Structure 1
Amino acid sequence: MTVNTEIARAQTFANDGFVTTGPLLSMEEVRAYRDIYDRFLSGEIESGDKRSDLGSHEPRRGGQENITQIMWPSALHEPLREMPLHARALETAKELIGDDAVFDFDMLIHKAPRTGVPTPWHQDAAYWIDLPDKRAVSIWVALDDAVLDNGCMWYVRGSHREPIRPHYATSDGKNIQCDCAETEPGATAVPLSAGEGVAHSGTTLHYSRGNTTDGVRRAYILNFRPAQMLRLERERGYDVGLTENVRLVRNSEFDAQS
């Protein structure tokens, strides 16, 4: 990748609040991640209270969850940290938000076939504690081709430059959402091929449709923020759900990264 390409990508991220990353994984690597991912879904790799349903506000439509979310897969299964995605995503994060970017947390979000439950519109920062430096980037990596009908990401271009919208609880009180729609000016769908990624800021409005296809939609998301803000986050007791039942607890990781 040329310096000009990196500059252009960083400028698009700054202007729009999201930008595609291009391929981050080869198909051979995608298959390796899918294997681990499916071991999480089957329960072979235990996730305890890190597993939840982002679609729990809708009646169950098959499978264990409507939209399976597993927080901190790399803490639950240490080998993930030594695989290529974390290093490549960190390189992209530094390109987009600065050289002081470090890893904060990761998650898996899975939409099973024919579940058809959308992920509600929201801004990630509405879940987070307030920090003086707002820089943050989430890198959403497709492990299956992500298209309109199985739940590719949608963003509202430029929404990251506006105040965070009022968010309210979903009907079951377990997640949050805000008022937005695909018809809003700037709303943009971002289909991806398996192995490709899209990066968005912490304040960019986003959502995805439910999976109405016969295939699965697996995504791996990694979040990064400045090292100083990660330290402040942890000092304030916020670790995005990392708790004692995780086998590998990295309580002092931010010190090593800063």
Structure 2
Amino acid sequence: MPFISKEQVAFFKEEGYLLVLNVLSPKEVDYYSKLYNSFLNNEIDATSYRSDLSGSDGVQEKITQIMVPSKLMPELLQRPFHQKSLRIAKQLMGDDIELDFDMLINKAPNTNAITPWHQDTAYWINMPDKRAASCWLAIDPAFKDNGCMWYTPKSHRSPLLPHTQTGNKGALQCEGSEENSVCIPLKPGSCVFHAGGTLHYSRGNSTNDNRRAMITNFRPKAMIALERAQGVDHTGERKTRI
């Protein structure tokens, strides 16, 4: 039986995002929650792949990004989230779709640092096959006040917007607005897929708890090979294409 329906596939292609509920069980979420904390607390040393997306020069990380956790823990590739999100990505985009890279993004408590409006495509090299999707999994409850995701429907169908870089090697940013966008609150274990060109952002975390998310990113196998041939593995400095 398909994990998602034909109607859901059609919605993703038209709107540029798709909510998928209860991808993980509570027991599976508990596994990822404990593992996530091991990364955040440096029990698993991810120093080479860790940065603050807020671009802040302060002592405290506001938006912690840890790239390619599966490079440090290869067993993650066989765990439920990677396997289930890959299966859905193949349904959304085709059987030649594979995992490109994964990452962890945490918004620390009471930091109020937004993730600015951007399109993921702005981070990537220009490729002849532009199929790409990211899966954003909630480890903690995600809602407006702690930084759930906002998406601008159908924005993936328009040309890539001009982007600039925030702060000290911080995230990329472009123009966007909540007024013509939708927010997607999530319970732990649920996720949302979005296309590479979908405009999105999240508010800062004004609560007393972390807002942890795990992300997997997918594209055609041939395009991943093209990236790697050009030295792109998503662990280097951020560069804008526009």
- Give the TM bin, normalised by the shorter chain: over 0.9
Separation in 2, partners of 1:155, 1:176: 16
| Alpha-carbon distance, 1:79 to partner | 2.4
Separation in 2, partners of 1:113, 1:103: 30
Letter in 2 for 1:45: I
| Per-residue CA distance 1:209-252 (angstroms, 9 max, x = gap) | 1111112111000001011111111112111117xxxxxxxxxx
Q: Give secondary structure in 2 for the equivalent of 1:109.
A: strand
Question: Do residues 139 (structure 1) and 109 (structure 2) align?
Answer: no
Separation in 1, partners of 2:200, 2:135: 13
Which of 61, 69, 72 does residue 73 from structure 1 map onto? Answer: 69
Separation in 2, partners of 1:231, 1:173: 27
Matched residue, 2:91: 95
1:45–1:77 contact (8 Å) kept in structure 2: no
Letter in 2 for 1:25: L
Question: Do residues 193 (structure 1) and 184 (structure 2) align?
Answer: no
1:197-236 equivalent positions in 2, closer than 5 A = 197-236=191-230
Question: Do residues 124 (structure 1) and 120 (structure 2) align?
Answer: yes
- Tell me the number of residue pairs that the alignment of Structure 1 and Structure 2 aligns: 237
| Per-residue CA distance 1:190-217 (angstroms, 9 max, x = gap) | 0011000000000000011111111211
1:21–1:92 contact (8 Å) kept in structure 2: no
2:115–2:171 contact (8 Å) kept in structure 1: no
Matched residue, 2:46: 47
Separation in 1, partners of 2:31, 2:96: 29
Q: Give secondary structure in 2 for the equivalent of 1:140.
A: strand
Name the TM-score, length of structure 1 as normaliser: 0.88
Separation in 2, partners of 1:128, 1:88: 24
| Alpha-carbon distance, 1:78 to partner | 2.1
Separation in 1, partners of 2:169, 2:226: 28
Q: Give secondary structure in 2 for the equivalent of 1:70.
A: strand
Distance verdict in 2 for CA 1:234–1:214, change over 3 Å: same
Question: Do residues 174 (structure 1) and 173 (structure 2) align?
Answer: no
Separation in 2, partners of 1:215, 1:68: 14
Letter in 2 for 1:113: P
Task: Name structure 2 gaps, 5 residues minimum.
Answer: 237-242
Q: Give secondary structure in 2 for the equivalent of 1:23.
A: coil
Letter in 2 for 1:137: A
Matched residue, 2:155: 159
Q: Give secondary structure in 2 for the equivalent of 1:195.
A: coil
Separation in 2, partners of 1:239, 1:169: 20
Which of 70, 81, 84 does residue 80 from structure 2 map onto? Answer: 84
Q: Give secondary structure in 2 for the equivalent of 1:149.
A: helix
| Per-residue CA distance 1:27-66 (angstroms, 9 max, x = gap) | 1110100111000000010002200001124x74xx7301
C-alpha RMSD of matched pairs (Å): 1.7
| Alpha-carbon distance, 1:148 to partner | 0.6
| Alpha-carbon distance, 1:2 to partner | 5.5
Distance verdict in 2 for CA 1:21–1:113, change over 3 Å: same
Letter in 2 for 1:126: A
2:54–2:167 contact (8 Å) kept in structure 1: no
Q: Give secondary structure in 2 for the equivalent of 1:80.
A: helix
Which of 48, 60, 64 does residue 60 from structure 2 map onto? Answer: 64
1:52–1:68 contact (8 Å) kept in structure 2: yes
Q: Give secondary structure in 2 for the equivalent of 1:229.
A: helix
Separation in 2, partners of 1:82, 1:99: 18
